[in-house]
Amino acid sequence: MAEGYRDWMLTTAEFTALLQELYHANYVLVRQRDCFKTHPDGSMSLAVPALPPGKKPLIMSFDDVNYYTYMQNSGFANKLVINQDQELAAEVFTPSGRPVITTAGDCLPILEQFIKKHPDFSYQNARGLIAVTGFEGILGYRIAPDNDRSNTLEAETAALTKVVDWLKQKGWEFACHSYTHNSSWFQTAEPPLERIIYDTDKWKRIIEPLIGKTDTYIAPFGSFFGPDNPCHRYIIEAGFKYYCIVDKSKKIIFYKNHLIISRFNIDGFNFRNNQYVFEANYGDLSKIIDNKRIPAYKPYARNRKNFLAHADFFLNAPTIYVWGGLGLELTTKCLLDLASEYPEYYTPEKQAAYAPYLDKNYLGCDCSGLIKNFLMGGVRHFVRDNTYDYNSRGLFDHAAVKGDISSLPELGGLCLYMQGHVGIYIGNGEVIESTNNPSFGNGVVKTRLSARPWEKWFQCPHVSYED
């Protein structure tokens, strides 16, 4: 695979396997707009729909569903079509150059087929967001003013309209991905306002009439200029109140009349660089990665970067402090196991206190359990292994590199120790730790380094700090 394709694309086999993993992980597709409420004053707030028990909401978006000419003759689909059975399909060229219409030829038709088999993967017919630019037309139809086309504009537009209508009727939604996707305008700290105006207006003039009004802007390159930048303000005032960026955090920022939503890009780049984050959230990469991809799947390394990703995952997941817990889901069985392992600690009163949290997907750990979970394979590949079963003191004692807190290096991923307690330093004076403490909260929380009398720092045993 060529480098760009390897980083920014999935193979059809990978996308198919990805859907299976997401389904196994209890994700359900929801519409982005169904997760937010707009108030009379224009402000917005989170309002995620109530899903069946155990199910998790997932918003999927697809960028650049344009079938650019540069991708032709490289094994990509050529356009989206509706086949004889009135199903969504892709036109793909065989290596000998013969066009075939197939429902297995690209992500959107593959997702349609998956939902046909697993209707419960979609909440109230939600599909995904289709983000399109304009300069080469959309969905493989060359309807832009400057495009070379073999068909007439009327024929091309009619064929496109048929696909657009089909998609919208099924529950797909469209988003603006800029008209030009021009890197020198969008991938810069100082975007030229007149260019952004030209780009936004052109998309609204040429593309919007074909797909209908949309209030969702999926920024090219995930660019975000800042809320006060005139270019950003122009885009918002053009009618976009969902502004989507690319970021591996799950953050959503609410402004007066719009919001910024982070998206995690599922592609070869993140398979390689953010494997821990991917696996903790979405599924087992070893079941997804296509063996055409080089390098192929390797279990994640116990290194500083993944250790930080692990801490961050727990910080953002629903967690509760469980003494002796190893970061697994707090099920009724898990609590009974702990109670038989530690009968003196887990009195009937203590067990009863956990009742509201049982079987509700809470991850339970104590301070050292947060770290031991990582050493034993992390949330995705956890295997109980007593080699790594240290308490907080044991972690500190086994560390090869350590020092007094006064000499703490400014390096995220180091561990902190005080009598009976351990935490993970993440840099900038902040710590992620599991605790149950009236001033810090219950579960995995972020605290200030200065908030506790930490005594020592150390490199976590079995974790590599060479990067």
Least Cβ distance, residue 133 to Zn ion (angstroms): 7
- Residues 197 and 208: their CA atoms lie apart, in Å, by 15
Least Cβ distance, residue 181 to Zn ion (angstroms): 6
- Residues 267 and 15: their CA atoms lie apart, in Å, by 10
Q: Which window, 36-44, 150-158, 220-228, 361-369, contacts Zn ion (CB under 5 A)? A: 220-228
Q: Which is nearer to Zn ion, 64 or 156 (CB)?
A: 64
Q: Are 309 and 301 in contact (CB under 8 A)?
A: no
Q: Which window, 15-23, 159-167, 217-225, 409-417, contacts Zn ion (CB under 5 A)? A: 217-225
* Secondary structure of residue 160 in the 3-state scheme: helix
Q: Per-residue x/- mask for Zn ion, residues 123 to 162, rule CB under 5 A?
A: ----------------------------------------
Least Cβ distance, residue 339 to Zn ion (angstroms): 52
- Residues 344 and 356: their CA atoms lie apart, in Å, by 22
Least Cβ distance, residue 206 to Zn ion (angstroms): 17
Left, alpha or beta for 42 (phi > 0: left; psi -120 to 50: alpha)? left
Q: Which is nearer to Zn ion, 220 or 325 (CB)?
A: 220
Q: Which window, 24-32, 58-66, 96-104, 245-253, contacts Zn ion (CB under 5 A)? A: 58-66
Least Cβ distance, residue 250 to Zn ion (angstroms): 21
Q: How many CA atoms lie within 13 A of 433 on its CB side?
A: 25
DSSP label at 204? I
Least Cβ distance, residue 254 to Zn ion (angstroms): 25
Q: Are 156 and 163 in contact (CB under 8 A)?
A: no
Q: Which window, 52-60, 85-93, 218-226, 342-350, contacts Zn ion (CB under 5 A)? A: 218-226
* Residue 199 sits in the site that holds Zn ion (CB under 5 A): no
Q: Which is nearer to Zn ion, 105 or 220 (CB)?
A: 220
* Secondary structure of residue 164 in the 3-state scheme: helix
Q: Which is nearer to Zn ion, 63 or 215 (CB)?
A: 63
Q: Are 256 and 43 in contact (CB under 8 A)?
A: yes
Q: Which is nearer to Zn ion, 63 or 173 (CB)?
A: 63
- Residues 178 and 134: their CA atoms lie apart, in Å, by 7
- Residues 320 and 322: their CA atoms lie apart, in Å, by 6
Q: Which window, 39-47, 62-70, 249-257, 318-326, contacts Zn ion (CB under 5 A)? A: 62-70
Least Cβ distance, residue 387 to Zn ion (angstroms): 45
DSSP label at 43? -
Least Cβ distance, residue 178 to Zn ion (angstroms): 8
Least Cβ distance, residue 221 to Zn ion (angstroms): 7
Q: Which is nearer to Zn ion, 64 or 433 (CB)?
A: 64
Residues in the chain, overall count:
467
Least Cβ distance, residue 222 to Zn ion (angstroms): 8
Q: Which is nearer to Zn ion, 263 or 456 (CB)?
A: 263
Left, alpha or beta for 257 (phi > 0: left; psi -120 to 50: alpha)? alpha
Q: Which window, 57-65, 135-143, 228-236, 327-335, contacts Zn ion (CB under 5 A)? A: 57-65
Interaction with Zn ion in 423-452: which residues (CB under 5 A)?
none
Q: Which is nearer to Zn ion, 222 or 377 (CB)?
A: 222
Q: Which is nearer to Zn ion, 74 or 125 (CB)?
A: 74
259-263 and 363-365 as β-strands: parallel, antiparallel, unpaired? unpaired
Q: Are 465 and 412 in contact (CB under 8 A)?
A: no
Residue 213: CB atoms within 10 Å: 9
Q: Which is nearer to Zn ion, 191 or 461 (CB)?
A: 191
Q: Which is nearer to Zn ion, 65 or 88 (CB)?
A: 65
Q: Please report which residue ranges of 295-418 form alpha helices under DSSP H.
A: 304-316, 332-341, 348-353, 367-375, 392-397
One-letter amino acid for residue 199 of the chain: D
Query: Largest alpha-carbon pair distance within the chain?
Result: 81
Q: Which window, 80-88, 214-222, 230-238, 321-329, contacts Zn ion (CB under 5 A)? A: 214-222
Q: What are phi and psi of 32, to 5 degrees?
A: -55, -45
- Residues 261 and 244: their CA atoms lie apart, in Å, by 5
The residue within the footprint of Zn ion, chosen from 59, 61, 63, 424 (CB under 5 A), is 63
Give the helix/strand (H/E) hosting 201.
helix 193-202
Which two tokens mark 290?
Answer: 């296509």
3-state DSSP: the chain helix, strand, coil percent, rounded to 5?
35, 20, 40
* Residue 64 sits in the site that holds Zn ion (CB under 5 A): yes
Least Cβ distance, residue 191 to Zn ion (angstroms): 16
Which two tokens mark 206?
Answer: 């040429």
Q: Which is nearer to Zn ion, 134 or 220 (CB)?
A: 220
The count of residues interacting with Zn ion (CB under 5 A) is: 3
Least Cβ distance, residue 65 to Zn ion (angstroms): 10
Q: Which window, 55-63, 137-145, 201-209, 320-328, contacts Zn ion (CB under 5 A)? A: 55-63
Positions touching Zn ion (CB under 5 A) are 63-64, 220
